[in-house]
């Protein structure tokens, strides 16, 4: 049974609080926010929680086991480092941190302290994403050709980070999870329409060593919410639409058959179309599974399903994509980083 | 009343034939194809048409006024040049021709011969595209920020040109028509999955001098047919979905209001959401309007609505996009070309 | 090889003409309409057809094998009877005729003359309806509980018959085809909003001896076109949406499990939800299959797939439903009719 | 500031509890359920609430102002009567009660005790239903012709009442609210497929004195959730789809124009199609508005927006529809009842 502190009780933090309150592995809650009013609102619902406006004081509690960080990106590194230094297990919301350098330091610190370092790639815990991973792992789509993703909506404009740092972590964490490989190159284009210097529309292109490619578009300036990912393989194709209630995942038994040249020296293509199947998905809250995985990992002394290295892989792509975006779409190579020493 | 010859009676040509047969400005039809069986099939429906398997012979008819070319791209230049040299008016299916050089020569030839040179940008004649042009021209969307387009399906793989040359002319002709300007830069990425050397998936990014940007994705390898264009302006946003029967165009009264910093030095953003309106569209066949425009232009001795220069502008972007695609997405500048001497 | 005459070249007849012209079993076409202009329009496309404005003269041709009737309902009986009396094979568009009495007479006449009598229940030849028949026949849905259908649109108001006589034949022919039984009772309600005395909105309820029930709503006064049929069985459920391009048929692996009372004397219900499958459908024009079936039946001296008895079964329900509608929804029993003597 | 007791903490009650806890007009909460475990679950969230397993004891509290009843239908009458007799204000979930007789008694009791008696017709407080009422009241649809509604899903089968008593109150409360009149006749058909004696599929037809008609279908045995209402008027048509996130209400500028007979003695119909508009809807939780209306009505000593008479009007139709359903769809006349003495 764990004592867990949540820092950041604004937009997302309360979801962590609710899931901790309902999780039997957590017996005690500390809540921290610079804004006392935000804590008050949580205390109405969870009066047994301990309120803190000073983070240092909260993590100074000797019986505090773990900290979950749901503050703005710019504070992730500092808050996580402090908690790790005091020997606390740490969960950081996505994106993990603001640079590769920061990520490497946090990972090394967690290693040396032998503490859990988890990153909040919530989609990886969601039923459709898990189902797609199963489908890909059993080879149902054949050789993976490409992924194309759209994640657009009206708002919410962030004031400190671009639309890429805000929205791309979702898709990138899924891509890496599904493919089991990180991209070797990235390009990004886009523009800042509403706030100068903060791109609100972006298009990102990725190349993988396996030959697969991926594309994703992100926007805070779009008339309707779209969250649609198409995965095309040599044998079948798949569409994942996260805005659907029913049939979030559809598998299309479609493809092209390539026939080698025969007598007349011309190859032939034929198109194959079969059934469309929308597989039954489990039904649970991804965040509940994620919080539970973090708490279990601590108690079982194992790595969480999304750890610092998973977070770092995504940060490296974000860094490179942002650099490409600032340089009119120039190709950025994403080199290998030896994470563990 | 005109005598019109159609060359190419395969996939698209018969649509031209049908529209000519039903147009009162055309009193006589000549049909040409290397494959006599394809002509036979047309003669069953239009027994009065004159069949030809030799293009030179067809255009040698002194009473032939115009030629409509619906053959593979690689033959456009040669067939159009021959017809123009004999003083025939010429309509070429999109894409106009295979290079800027070819386009310039055809335009110059048509000028010197004082003949109509039309290019088959059919979408420009379609009710939703015309309605969107009206909406943009009256400034309803405010300052135009960006366009994002998706044109994907399963098939048909072309054997001589990439998916960009096959599908992008549709979107590019619309973009140029709506914006009234050509892009200054283009980037493209993609890959050849099924046929070596012929990209079947591509992503294209355009920058315009006005500050607008545009993106389009093209694929012959996609599980479902999507033809969706989003146009975002500072005042309103618009979605054009060509696969819908009803409500092909929707105008969203949505936007972001930017308020300048007040006392506390921080600007504020607020999101505005109003009615969604799907305007009534005219209902006619775009190809009918296009054929009629070509025939009328000849009789009225005026330029057709989509002429050689419109075709050339699209070809220049295709050329640059293809070059970018072959160079891993490097930026291609699209310089100005003085078309008319 | 057959000589076929089509009577009625207005709205639907030209579709029959086109399919006859393209069918190899038909070598000669006669066309008849009171309105010479309508025939002229057909002759432009099919100049080899023989035009007639006098039906009696057309059927007086000794080499005429068959007549296809696509005229208003009130003329069906008379035109069919005349043709049968002259020994022609007859195809009548739906609805077969205006009363049970008429239907019985035509069937008896065809029997005595040993001629084919086919009725145009085109939907029975359509790929989704055929696929659903297969699914039902192999028992995939379990015991059939109920069917609910919606067939509404704006227009076209008929001037001689109610919306039930106009639209219900489609659904009724499908219901009878799928279930293999005719209903024993029918109720209908509705109203005449636009034209006095001609109901344009109606709701029809059917009871079958097997215990199944069916409901269908019809309207000429509806904002959008809906053609949706839900079939619910004890094991699975199915939706057929005829307005969809893709996924016209979807099978839902859903149901309720009923568990008998245990210790506490209360039965338990549990809901089961599995995959959703949209089976691949064939792709052909139903009318082509229907015309071909009629011509083949003549040549092979067999009954057509939809014969007079099928037509009569539908007419009997229409009669009863109309009577119920005129009597504020009173139950009408549909007795058995011995069709063949 | 009011002390409110909620009885029934099973499926729906907790929603009332949450809205009371967040409403400033309620300063004290009592919770009652026969099942102590259900109360425990609520106390975890609302530890300040007073728990009761004995209803009589709860309403014996002298400082208790009002009771909100969210128990099974069969208990509504008894619980409401007891509370009214003790002088408490009463809110009853829909359907109000099990018979006209019960409803009349409760209304009379509330009158004599001068207490608020509200009924939980939540839809009447929902943004789309309010918007539609505005549209109808300003005559935008012209003369109202008919309403057709579909409310189907898989489950939840009730064990004590038919699908009509379970689902029809939603639609009936909307119909009465929109039209401002009660129907004069009702017919219903349906069947009990899963539980003997408890119809789970039903079709209901209503006639109004104004000439309007309405139809609704209800099912607990349907593959997908549909909640769609079409309203057709002489001038425009409207679709309300409650399962949509966006565009829940769409107004179609469509209709039929009837032209009187001219020279040739035949009237002409023409169809009009204009823009489709999806009006901006407010965004709030209907239940919050409903709870607030009840609390405000008490404090302001006014009638709540949905009072006992509204509840009774719906119960009278349910009674008649159920009777019709049990009698194979026979017409049931719904007479006038003098509610207030």
Sort out which chain C residues have CB atoms less than 8 A from B283's CB and list them: none
Q: Is residue C339 situated within a structural domain? A: no
pLDDT > 60? residue B339: no
pLDDT > 50? residue B341: no
Q: Which of B246, B275, B280 sits opposite D278 (nearest CB)?
A: B275
> What per-residue confidence (pLDDT) applies to A335?
81
Nearest to C203 by CA among C243, C126, C148: C148
> What per-residue confidence (pLDDT) applies to C197?
94
**Neighbouring chains of C at 3+ CB pairs within 8 Å?**
A, B, D
**ipTM score assigned to the predicted complex:** 0.95
Q: Are residues B108 and B166 in the same domain?
A: no
Tell how far CA B217 is from the center of its chain: 15
Q: Chain C closest CA to A247's CA: distance in Å?
A: 8
Count the helices and strands in chain B (H runs, E runs): 9, 15
> What per-residue confidence (pLDDT) applies to C263?
61
Residue of B nearest to A240 (CA): B223
Q: Is residue A279 situated within a structural domain? A: yes
Are A224 and B252 a contacting pair at CB < 8 A? yes
* Alpha-helical runs (H) found in chain B: 13-21, 36-45, 55-60, 73-85, 100-113, 127-137, 163-179, 286-300, 308-326
Give the largest Cα separation in chain B, rounded.
81
Q: Are residues D144 and D114 in the same domain?
A: no
Sort out which chain B residues have CB atoms less than 8 A from A221's CB and list them: 145-146, 232, 237, 256
Residue of B nearest to A269 (CA): B157
Q: Are residues C181 and C291 in the same domain?
A: no
Asked if C269 and C2 count as a contact pair (C-beta separation under 8 A), the reply is: no
DSSP state of A328: T
Residues 6+ apart with CB under 8 A from B243: B225, B226, B227, B228, C245
* D7 vs C264 pLDDT, higher one: D7
Distance CA D169, CA D180 (A): 16
Which region, left, alpha or beta, applies to residue A265 given φ > 0 means left and ψ of -120 to 50 means alpha? left
Distance CA D72, CA D161 (A): 10
Confidence of residue C45 (pLDDT cuts 50, 70, 90): confident
Q: Chain B closest CA to D137's CA: distance in Å?
A: 19
Sort out which chain D residues have CB atoms less than 8 A from B247's CB and list them: 276
The CATH number that applies at residue A297 is: 3.40.50.720
- Stretch B82-91: mean pLDDT, rounded? 98
Residue of C nearest to A279 (CA): C275
* Alpha-helical runs (H) found in chain A: 13-21, 36-45, 55-60, 73-85, 100-113, 127-137, 163-179, 286-300, 308-326
Are C280 and A247 a contacting pair at CB < 8 A? no
Q: Is residue C338 situated within a structural domain? A: no
Q: Which of D224, D245, D246 sits opposite A246 (nearest CB)?
A: D224
3-state secondary structure of D231: strand
Q: Is residue D207 situated within a structural domain? A: yes
Residues 6+ apart with CB under 8 A from A255: A142, A234, A235, A236, A237, A271, A272
Q: Count how many pairs of residues, chain A against chain C, have C-beta atoms within 8 Å.
A: 26
First vs last Cα of chain B: how many Å apart? 32
Query: Helix/strand/coil (H, E, C) string of chain C?
Result: CEEEEEECCCCCHHHHHHHHHCCCCEEEEEEECCCHHHHHHHHHHCCCCEEECCHHHHHHCCCCCEEEECCCHHHHHHHHHHHHHCCCEEEEECCCCCCHHHHHHHHHHHHHHCCCEEEECHHHHCHHHHHHHHHHHCCCCCCEEEEEEEEEEECCCCCCCCHHHHHHHHHHHHHHHHHCCCEEEEEEEEECCCCCCCCCEEEEEEEECCCCEEEEEEECEEEEEEEEEEEEECCCEEEEECCCCCCCEEEEEEEEEEECCCCCCCCEEEEEEEEEEECCCCCCCHHHHHHHHHHHHHHHCCCCCCEHHHHHHHHHHHHHHHHHHHCCCCCEECCCCCCCC
Confidence of residue A341 (pLDDT cuts 50, 70, 90): very low
- Stretch B194-198: mean pLDDT, rounded? 94
Look up tokens 């017809």; give the residue.
B83
Residue of B nearest to C243 (CA): B245
DSSP state of B74: H
Q: Are residues B253 and B118 in the same domain?
A: no
- Stretch B75-97: mean pLDDT, rounded? 98
**Neighbouring chains of D at 3+ CB pairs within 8 Å?**
A, B, C
Sort out which chain A residues have CB atoms less than 8 A from B232's CB and list them: 201, 219, 221-223
Sort out which chain B residues have CB atoms less than 8 A from A237's CB and list them: 221-223
- What is the pLDDT of chain C when averaged over all its residues? 95
Which of D236, D251, D252, D278 is the best substitution to test chain B (most B C-beta atoms within 10 A)?
D278
The helix-helix angle for D13-21 and D36-45 (nearest 10°) equals 30
Please give the C-alpha separations between residue B247 and each of A319, B244, C79, in angstroms, as whole numbers. 41, 7, 43
Q: Which tokens go with B51?
A: 């069949």
Q: Which helix (H) or strand (E) holds D252?
A: strand D249-259
Percent of chain A whose pLDDT exceeds 70: 97
Sort out which chain C residues have CB atoms less than 8 A from B243's CB and list them: 245
Distance CA D141, CA B106 (A): 57
Q: Are residues A76 and A137 in the same domain?
A: no
Sort out which chain C residues have CB atoms less than 8 A from D252's CB and list them: 223-224
Q: Are residues C208 and C275 in the same domain?
A: yes
Q: Is residue D97 situated within a structural domain? A: yes
Residue of A nearest to D43 (CA): A45
Q: Are residues D23 and D73 in the same domain?
A: yes
Give residues 141 to 200 of C whose Cβ lies within 8 Å of B.
none
Percent of chain C whose pLDDT exceeds 70: 97
pLDDT > 80? residue A263: no
Please give the C-alpha separations between residue A265 and each of A261, B156, C238, in angstroms, as whole numbers. 5, 20, 47
Q: Chain B closest CA to C144's CA: distance in Å?
A: 32
pLDDT > 90? residue C277: yes
- Stretch C17-27: mean pLDDT, rounded? 95
Please give the C-alpha separations between residue B122 and each of B83, B242, B290, in angstroms, as whole numbers. 22, 13, 6
CA dihedral C96, C99, C100, C106 (to 10 degrees): -50
- What is the pLDDT of chain A when averaged over all its residues? 95
Percent of chain B whose pLDDT exceeds 70: 97
Sign, CA torsion A14/A15/A16/A19: positive
pLDDT > 70? residue A271: yes
A291-296 — which CB contacts under 8 Å span 24+ positions? Answer: A291/A16, A291/A19, A291/A20, A291/A23, A291/A68, A292/A23, A292/A25, A293/A118, A293/A125, A294/A66, A294/A68, A294/A89, A294/A91, A294/A116, A294/A118, A295/A2, A295/A4, A295/A23, A295/A25, A295/A26, A295/A66, A296/A25
Q: Which of B230, B234, B328 sits opposite A331 (nearest CB)?
A: B328
pLDDT digits (tens, 9 = 90+) for A87-103: 999 999 999 999 999 99
Q: Which of C45, C224, C246 sits opposite B45 (nearest CB)?
A: C45
> What DSSP line would sit under A185-240, residue for residue?
EEEEEEE-SSSTTS--EEEEEEEETTS-EEEEEEESEEEEEEEEEEEEESS-EEEE
Distance CA A98, CA A169 (A): 12
pLDDT > 50? residue C341: no
Which of B151, B210, B223, B234 is the best substitution to test chain A (most A C-beta atoms within 10 A)?
B223
> What per-residue confidence (pLDDT) applies to C338?
59
Q: Chain C closest CA to A145's CA: distance in Å?
A: 23
Q: Are residues D134 and D272 in the same domain?
A: yes
Which of A153, A190, A200, A232 is the best substitution to test chain B (most B C-beta atoms within 10 A)?
A232
pLDDT > 70? residue C340: no
Are D47 and A47 a contacting pair at CB < 8 A? yes
Asked if C121 and C310 count as a contact pair (C-beta separation under 8 A), the reply is: yes
pLDDT digits (tens, 9 = 90+) for B220-230: 999 999 999 99
Residue of D nearest to A43 (CA): D45
Q: Is residue B338 situated within a structural domain? A: no
Q: Chain D closest CA to A245's CA: distance in Å?
A: 10
Distance CA C116, CA C220 (A): 34
Q: Which of B145, B157, B223 sits opposite A193 (nearest CB)?
A: B145
Q: Is residue B312 situated within a structural domain? A: no
Are B45 and C47 a contacting pair at CB < 8 A? no
Asked if A238 and A132 count as a contact pair (C-beta separation under 8 A), the reply is: yes
pLDDT digits (tens, 9 = 90+) for A195-242: 999 999 999 999 999 999 999 999 999 999 999 999 999 999 999 999
Confidence of residue A246 (pLDDT cuts 50, 70, 90): confident
Q: Are residues C165 and C278 in the same domain?
A: yes
Sort out which chain B residues have CB atoms less than 8 A from D246's CB and list them: 276
Sort out which chain B residues have CB atoms less than 8 A from D279's CB and list them: 275
Asked if D149 and D229 count as a contact pair (C-beta separation under 8 A), the reply is: yes
Look up tokens 């002394």; give the residue.
A301
Q: Are residues B80 and B188 in the same domain?
A: no
> What per-residue confidence (pLDDT) applies to A262?
64
- pLDDT by residue, tens only, chain D of 341 residues: 899 999 999 999 999 999 999 999 999 999 999 999 999 999 988 889 999 999 999 999 999 999 999 999 999 999 999 999 999 999 999 999 999 999 999 999 999 999 999 999 999 999 999 999 999 999 999 999 999 999 999 989 998 899 999 999 999 999 999 999 999 999 999 999 999 999 999 999 999 999 999 999 999 999 999 999 999 999 999 999 999 988 999 999 999 988 776 665 667 899 999 999 999 999 999 999 999 999 999 999 999 999 999 999 999 999 999 999 999 999 999 987 655 43
Sort out which chain C residues have CB atoms less than 8 A from B45's CB and list them: 45
Sign, CA torsion B256/B257/B258/B261: negative
Q: How many domains does the structure of chain D reveal? A: 2
Distance CA C332, CA C334 (A): 6
Count CB atoms within 10 A of the CB of residue A15: 16
Range of the structural domain that residue D31 is part of? 2-122+286-307
Q: Which of D45, D243, D245 sits opposite A45 (nearest CB)?
A: D45
Q: Are residues C181 and C329 in the same domain?
A: yes
Give residues 241 to 270 of D whose Cβ lies within 8 Å of B.
246-247, 253
> What per-residue confidence (pLDDT) applies to D154?
96
pLDDT digits (tens, 9 = 90+) for A278-304: 999 999 999 999 999 999 999 999 999
Q: Is residue A277 situated within a structural domain? A: yes
Q: Are residues D72 and D188 in the same domain?
A: no
- Stretch A61-74: mean pLDDT, rounded? 97
Sort out which chain A residues have CB atoms less than 8 A from D248's CB and list them: none
> What per-residue confidence (pLDDT) applies to C268?
81
**Neighbouring chains of B at 3+ CB pairs within 8 Å?**
A, C, D
DSSP state of A124: G
Asked if D248 and D130 count as a contact pair (C-beta separation under 8 A), the reply is: no
- Stretch C305-313: mean pLDDT, rounded? 97
Are C269 and D201 a contacting pair at CB < 8 A? no
Distance CA D223, CA D154 (A): 6
The CATH number that applies at residue C202 is: 3.30.360.10
Which of B232, B240, B253, B267 is the best substitution to test chain A (most A C-beta atoms within 10 A)?
B232
- A213-219 and A144-154: which strand pairing? parallel
> What DSSP line would sit under D107-175, residue for residue?
HHHHHHHT--EEEE-GGGGSHHHHHHHHHHHTTTT-SEEEEEEEEEEE-PPPSSS-HHHHHHHHHHHHH
Sort out which chain D residues have CB atoms less than 8 A from A246's CB and list them: 224
Phi, psi of A279 (to 5 degrees): -70, 145
């Amino acid at each position: 049974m764990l004592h867990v502190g949540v820092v950041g009780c604004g937009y997302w933090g309360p979801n962590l609080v609710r899931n901790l309150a309902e999780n039997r592995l957590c017996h005690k809650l500390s809540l921290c926010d610079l804004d006392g009013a935000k804590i008050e609102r949580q205390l109405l619902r969870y009066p047994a929680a301990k309120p803190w406006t000073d983070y240092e004081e909260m993590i100074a509690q000797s019986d505090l086991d773990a900290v979950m960080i749901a503050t703005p990106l710019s504070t992730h590194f500092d808050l996580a480092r402090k908690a790790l230094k005091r020997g606390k297990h740490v969960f950081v919301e996505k994106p993990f941190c603001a640079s590769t350098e920061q990520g490497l330091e946090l990972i090394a610190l967690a290693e040396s302290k032998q503490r859990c370092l988890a990153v909040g790639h919530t989609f990886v815990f969601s039923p459709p994403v898990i189902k797609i991973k199963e489908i890909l792992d059993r080879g149902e789509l054949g050789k993976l050709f490409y992924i194309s993703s759209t994640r657009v909506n009206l708002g919410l404009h962030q004031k400190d980070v671009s639309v890429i740092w805000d929205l791309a972590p979702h898709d990138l964490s899924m891509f890496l999870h599904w493919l089991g490989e990180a991209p070797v190159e990235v390009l990004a284009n886009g523009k800042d329409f509403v706030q100068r210097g903060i791109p609100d529309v972006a298009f990102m292109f990725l190349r993988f060593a396996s030959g697969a490619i991926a594309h994703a578009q992100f926007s805070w300036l779009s008339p309707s919410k779209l969250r649609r990912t198409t995965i095309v393989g040599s044998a079948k194709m798949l569409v994942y639409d996260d805005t659907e209630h029913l049939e979030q995942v559809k598998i299309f038994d479609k493809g092209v058959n390539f026939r080698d040249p025969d007598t007349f020296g011309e190859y032939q293509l034929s198109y194959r179309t079969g059934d469309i199947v929308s597989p039954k998905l489990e039904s649970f809250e991804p965040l509940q599974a994620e919080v539970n995985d973090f708490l279990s990992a601590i108690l079982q002394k194992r790595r969480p399903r999304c750890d610092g290295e998973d977070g770092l892989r995504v940060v490296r792509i974000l860094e490179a994509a942002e650099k490409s975006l600032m340089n009119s779409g120039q190709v950025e190579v994403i080199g290998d980083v030896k994470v563990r020493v």
